Amino acid sequence: MSSNAPIIIAVDGPAASGKGTVARKLATEFDFAYLDTGKLYRAVGLAVLRAGGDPEDEDAAIDAANALDLQTLEDPELLGDEAASAASKVAAIDGVRSALLAFQRSFAAAPPEGKLGAVLDGRDIGTVICPDALVKLFVTASVDIRAQRRHKELLNRGTPSIYPRVLDELKARDARDMNRATAPLKAADDAVVLDTTELDVDRSFAEALRLIGGPVREALEEADGA
């Protein structure tokens, strides 16, 4: 990494693993820009649904990706299970991934507000989007624990939720994400794995800092001295 290059932290992992929370906390800790790349796919999937289409319809999904208005990333409906399920389906379409690839890489190459670095979280950040990221973290947890977390999250938002259904949906989503032909969900060869099955939010973040904080702090010191 050159002294002028942004410091990139890649955070990947399956749904409800805690990767988003960890990624946001890392961005705050180091004053880096943050991008939840999953929201891009949720926005595309939701746009297709709202147009009365099928998220597995390649043409409709690609059109939605090319027409994506980034202001829609603040839409609260992106947090719902309907958007999550649609996101997993459109993410399996090569044309959608290609359409969103440039935006994600541009964000990493030139973080907003002149930040020295960026944290991107998703499912293929360390393997496809930012393969040269300074550090790569793969956050995971057992599917049962992830389903419990998602179930509780939905109930806390006032959204009706049935645990067995949430569990089945997560298993189906994992299968789609891990088995898709393009950019399947997997840890990069040089990623550090963080299993949050037995960890709460604070302990997960503390462990993430222990695992990757050193190289990031060193890079920041080098940037300050450049």
Q: What average pLDDT does this structure show over 156-160?
A: 89
Q: For residue 84, what pLDDT is reported? A: 87
pLDDT at 183 over 90: no
Evaluate whether 63 touches 44 at the Cβ level (below 8 Å): no
Evaluate whether 96 touches 65 at the Cβ level (below 8 Å): yes
pLDDT-based confidence at residue 74 (cuts at 50, 70, 90): confident
pLDDT at 20 over 60: yes
Percent of the residues in the chain that have a pLDDT greater than 70, as a whole number: 98
What DSSP letter does each residue of the chain carry, written as one string? --TTSPEEEEEE--TTSSHHHHHHHHHHHHT-EEEETHHHHHHHHHHHHHTT--TT-HHHHHHHHHT--GGGGG-GGGGSHHHHHHHHHHTT-HHHHHHHHHHHHHHHHS-GGG-SEEEEEESSIIIII-TT-SEEEEEE--HHHHHHHHHHHHHHTT----HHHHHHHHHHHHHHHHH-SSS-S---TTPEEEE-TT--HHHHHHHHHHHHHHHHHHHHHHHHH-
Q: What average pLDDT does this structure show over 202-211?
A: 98
pLDDT-based confidence at residue 2 (cuts at 50, 70, 90): low
The Cα–Cα gap between 119 and 32 comes to: 6
pTM greater than 0.75: yes
CA geometry: angle at 184 spanning 183 and 190, to 5°? 85
Q: Tell me: the pLDDT tens digits for 94-122?
A: 999 899 998 899 999 999 999 999 999 99
Q: What average pLDDT does this structure show over 22-49?
A: 96
Task: Give the amino acid at 192.
Answer: V
Token digits of residue 189: 């060869």
* Domain residue limits, the chain: 7-214
Q: What average pLDDT does this structure show over 199-225?
A: 96
Look at residue 135 and give its three-state secondary structure.
strand
Q: For residue 226, what pLDDT is reported? A: 64
Residues 7-214, CATH architecture: 3-Layer(aba) Sandwich (3.40)
Q: For residue 69, what pLDDT is reported? A: 76
Which is higher by pLDDT, 128 or 4? 128
Q: For residue 156, what pLDDT is reported? A: 93
